[in-house]
Amino acid sequence: MSDPQPVLELRGINRSFGDRRVLFDIDLAVQRGEFIALVGPSGCGKSTLFSIVGGFTDYRDYTGEVRVDGQLSRYPNCEKGIIFQKNVLYPWMNVLDNTAYGLVLKELNLGDQLFRRGHYRAMCQKYRQAAAEYLRKMCLTDADFDKMIYEISGGMQQRVDIACAMVLKPKILLMDEPFSGLDPQTRGVLQALLRSVQRLDNDTIILVTHDLDEAVYVSTRVVVMSQHHGQGPGARIVLDLPIPFAGSADPRREPEFAHLVERIRAAGFSAADRKTLEALGVPGSEAAPPPGDRA
């Protein structure tokens, strides 16, 4: 029996800046309910690929295809939720209205607001109820709903930002280093929350991160990009690794956790880097898979 149609499929993505090739033949299929962590050394093209998938790069500037549920997808749209490093919340709205506003924009129009005011008010109330449900999933309380964005902490703002994206129920949620600016304790709490909500709702997520511990902890599958693959210029996928304990209540307690982190770390290194690390006794460097290993 063949695999179901991927919710997201990248086919032969190549991207260059002038004479410098940045991405080389990127192929990736993401099934519904998968949580993909996209990692790799700084400058390997993760953000470039994120921009292409999100529809923020002109399709004439790259070759290959991005498909969502089998359909060509070249532009930003409601099928793809986006969370950036810095939140994009409205400071003049409270927490609840921020979270509901995306639904208002998606489902209602100016005619509803001007000529069908009763319907408009009723639907806005319905959207606030949906927004409240997602805010509670992110462990915000009803007492937080009326607070203005500037009255809550950075960690709480990030929870609101995640709720804003999830309430729209996109087919795939793209996250670019969403926790990078947070303190370690807040970061850990949000990692656990995101992991829990994703498993509960079976959301499809691609998370770009430089934190390998985070990648192995939250995801069901880690994809490593690197320019050190021996097949020409440009970054490509050198390791595509399912997480065997993705359903564990506490992945960091699993015996394989540290080994997988180090294997993923080593996969992005050049052969010379691996030899240096092995000589220094860095764990995992000797276990690096050859370029192109997908398992």
Residue 30: pLDDT band with limits 50, 70, 90: very high
pLDDT for residue 124: 78
pLDDT band for position 126 (50/70/90)? confident
In the chain, what are the domain boundaries? 32-59+74-79+171-295, 88-169
pLDDT per residue as tens digits for the range 220-251: 999 999 886 556 678 889 999 999 999 999 99
Q: Is the pLDDT of residue 61 over 90?
A: yes
115: pLDDT strictly greater than 80: no
**What is the structure's pLDDT at 274?**
54
Q: What is the CATH number of domain 32-59+74-79+171-295?
A: 3.40.50.300
Q: Which CATH superfamily, name and number, covers 88-169?
A: P-loop containing nucleotide triphosphate hydrolases (3.40.50.300)
The stretch 101-118 carries a mean pLDDT of: 66
SS3 track for the chain: CCCCCCCEEEEEEEEEECCEEEEEEEEEEECCCCEEEEECCCCCCHHHHHHHHHCCCCHHHEEEEEEECCEECCCCCCCEEEECCCCCCCCCCEHHHHHHHHHHHHHCCHHHHHHCHHHHHHHHHHHHHHHHHHHHHCCCCHHHCCCEHHHCCHHHHHHHHHHHHHCCCCCEEEEECCCCCCCHHHHHHHHHHHHHHHHHHCCCEEEECCCHHHHHHHCCEEEEEECCCCCCCCEEEEEEEECCCCCCCCHHHCCCHHHHHHHHHHHCCCHHHHHHHHHHCCCCHHHCCCCCCCC
pLDDT at residue 58 in the model: 94
Indicate if 88-169 has the same CATH topology as 32-59+74-79+171-295: yes
Residue 295 confidence (pLDDT)? 46
Residue 230's pLDDT is 58
pLDDT of 282 > 60? The answer is no
**Tell me: the pLDDT tens digits for 162-210?**
999 999 999 999 999 999 888 899 999 999 999 999 999 999 999 999 9
